[in-house]
Structure 1
């Protein structure tokens, strides 16, 4: 829904359609509340300055309710207003929600409602009222729309709108297997992975070769020394069983005998050995 200039939206609720109120002139505060931290040191000329705490920021939103002489409608709007803005669910007590004004729809303020003032009549004897909604930001900064841009080879300079520093969120989708991935931030420069192609080539080792079988057959599950002579492992090996080619699919499988597949007899000693096919 497109916000009108004199509307606001809080936690997805539109001021005009959901809360049934009209927003007045909102004067944004120039800065959050600030608290100077100083230490009074005896016999010292002046104070020791320890910095300034930038705390929460408060935005007062004046709204009006127009019900003429319809008291029932006014009461219903007030019930809706307090019920929608002030949750009675204990699990929501620690949550903050986005606030967006129609006069700056790209800026989002995150915070919570701390007060709804008592309504004051605009015209005596009528149920046209004004009141103020107090919105407090724990983090006094506001956010602008997220900017997404692909990174190119070399130095990338990304400029975003706003007046405060922000940290980038970098998503990496590797195009090949990586054993090592890392990054470094030096003065705002971001680097990913090894610096040179040579380092990258040695870093990409997703698998460790434990058997070298130049015949590509795993020696056909045979104990023939001529077939086994080219097979190398890092430890002692024992090969057992036999194999055959299944004629329907040309796939090698264990030999089938009256007892089922012939996997051979696994030796009872040498548990640390590699047992083949």
Structure 2
């Protein structure tokens, strides 16, 4: 388990904290228009805000978006706040997002803690209480995010590193096996990268690594999908809750988008920098064999059969 205490808080530049907070997104889940207007008036001049007027709407919104903090009313029509929180916390990309409950009943407090709430605000609320509690929890999250960046980001490419991959891939693999769901793994390698470095120099090689890494990251559309630099010029893409058909579509887009960069590589038959890929999913792996090893074997097949392609 990662011990964040080994990272110095002095490594975080507090001068930029206010800028970080102003870009953070607070999701307000509330079905009363008057309360929505009040909360937006308190928060929207300091943070970015979004509104969902039901638990169902909030769940749909969070499928493709990750807020930085959730302000959640307990009593709503349809799914109440407690059940909404349970569902949101079951999503991997939301499990660490702070949830502050809004309640007018003391007996709800135990439920708030049990389902993962970090705080609660009682109705009728005051402007100062709402603002200070939201700011306090956003500040803690911003500091934690900075610490995790120091630990989990590759310093050259600014995408996740091998440590992040090892920890999170294991969790996704275990979760999929437990829930009998699926996930996809794509292993990507830059073709003829040693020759590229020999011809154009290591500075251009570093530049190419950065561009390829960001292009892969930008190709991924869902917040739960991620790419990590696995080592050297090799990258690993993890797509939770994705079958083989979905993985093939993502891989096609990655290869196409990198080719479209048109980075010169005279060592290649294609005369531009290209990548090869190997694709595997948990359910397409025979007898739940090592999904990563299968994807890596498929990558080798792509390399052996001409590069600038993928195998599955």
**Structure with larger Rg:** 1
Q: Same fold (TM over 0.5)?
A: no
Smaller-chain TM-score range?
under 0.3
The structure where strand makes up a greater share of residues is: 1
Larger fraction in helix: 2
Please give the TM-score of this superposition, normalised by the length of structure 1.
Answer: 0.23
Structure scoring higher RCO (CA < 8 A, sep ≥ 6) equals: 2
